[in-house]
Structure 1
Amino acid sequence: MPSRIPDVTAADFVERVITASFQQPVLVEYWAPWCGPCRLLFPLLEKMAQEFAGRLSIMKLDVEAAPDIAERYGVRGVPQLQLFRDGVVVAEKSGLMPEANLRELLLQHTR
């Protein structure tokens, strides 16, 4: 089954995250291939992508492939989540979190 969470790159970040966030919220997971907690968070994000389909987009950005974007948005560690709405970060969380906490964060911005 293909992933519901597409990769975003430095080349398409503005279009797929910033511009798209004017239509609906966009959650970006900053991750790295060597990050164990990122691998644990990914299935939960897949579940949320399905649950919030049509109300929210979820993207993932490899910080090693796009260090300039990570630096621009103040990413200091992975996993880090940033929720964009109307072109700006409106919520941010670092590290692994329980499903209930992630769902509540997303509900706050999709009501």
Structure 2
Amino acid sequence: MRAVAWDEEPTSATYHLGPYGEVPQFITDQLIKMVEDAQATADQLLRNLLGFSAYLSITGIVNPAYEVGAVVEVRRARSHVAGLYAVDSFNVPLDAKGTQALTLRQKRTAGGG
């Protein structure tokens, strides 16, 4: 039996038509006897490998040094948020007394944090 599962998300670093190209992983399993089972297994293995993204929007004091892709640590016990996030987008207010809004992303594995 044979099955194929590709990362189809164009914004993903492992997108199969992206800079890394198609990089296959071959799995052999004697228990898989049907094409449907092979495809389900391939799909699940890809999901486990890629994980999912958690998104978070925050506001805080202005820091004009932020760049897209920068990693920031966020901790807010009341919201049960603690971890490292990549900056996806942000604004830089022209008023020094203003607040800065950031949109953050965190890649997580399918099994949790």
Q: Return the index of the structure with the highest Cα Rg.
A: 2
- TM-score for both structures, normalised by structure 2: 0.20
Higher RCO (CA-CA < 8 Å; seq separation 6+)? 1
Of Structure 1 and Structure 2, the greater strand share is in 2
- TM-score for both structures, normalised by structure 1: 0.20
